[in-house]
Amino acid sequence: MEKILIVDDEKNIVNVLREYGEFNGFLVDCAYDGIEALEKLERTNYDCVLLDIMMPNLDGFSTVKALKEIKNTPVIIMSAKTQEEDKLQGFELGIDDYVTKPFSPKEVMARVKAVIKRTKGYLDYAEIKEIKLDSLNKRILVNGKDVHATQKEFDLLSVLIRNKGLVVSREKLLNEIWGYDYNGDERTVDTHIKMLRAHLGESAKYIKTARGLGYEFVAD
Compute the mean pLDDT over every residue in the chain, rounded to the nearest whole number. Answer: 87
Judge if 104 and 7 occupy the same domain.
Answer: yes
Q: What are phi and psi of 105, to 5 degrees?
A: -60, -30
Tens of pLDDT, residue by residue over 23-35, are 999 999 999 999 9
Tens of pLDDT, residue by residue over 196-211, are 999 999 999 999 999 8
Judge if 17 and 105 occupy the same domain.
Answer: yes
Judge if 93 and 130 occupy the same domain.
Answer: no
Of 95, 119, 143, the domain-final residue: 119
| Confidence label for 169 from pLDDT (cuts 50, 70 and 90) | very high
- Paired residues of 77 in beta bridges: 51, 98
pLDDT for the residue 148: 86
Judge if 55 and 102 occupy the same domain.
Answer: yes
What's the pTM value of the predicted model, to 2 decimals? 0.59
Judge if 109 and 23 occupy the same domain.
Answer: yes
Q: Domain with 143 in it: what CATH number?
A: 1.10.10.10
Task: Spell out a b/e string for 152-165, using b for 16 or more CB atoms within 10 Å of the CB, else e.
Answer: bbbbbbbbbbebee
Tens of pLDDT, residue by residue over 139-156, are 899 998 999 888 889 889
Q: In whole angstroms, what is the distance from residue 77 CA to residue 172 CA?
A: 22
Q: Name, of 51-60, 101-110, 126-135, 199-208, the range with top average pLDDT.
A: 199-208
Judge if 136 and 186 occupy the same domain.
Answer: yes
DSSP secondary structure, 66-90, as one string: HHHTT----EEEEES---HHHHHHH
Q: Domain with 26 in it: what CATH number?
A: 3.40.50.2300
| Confidence label for 20 from pLDDT (cuts 50, 70 and 90) | very high
Q: What counts of helices (H) and strands (E) characterise the chain?
A: 8, 12
Residue type present at position 50: L
Judge if 138 and 205 occupy the same domain.
Answer: yes
Judge if 105 and 37 occupy the same domain.
Answer: yes
The radius of gyration of the chain from alpha carbons, rounded to an integer in Å, stands at: 17
Judge if 7 and 113 occupy the same domain.
Answer: yes
| Number of domains comprising the chain | 2
pLDDT for the residue 5: 96
Of 103, 119, 135, the domain-final residue: 119
Residue 15's domain comprises 3-119
Q: In whole angstroms, what is the distance from residue 177 CA to residue 170 CA?
A: 10
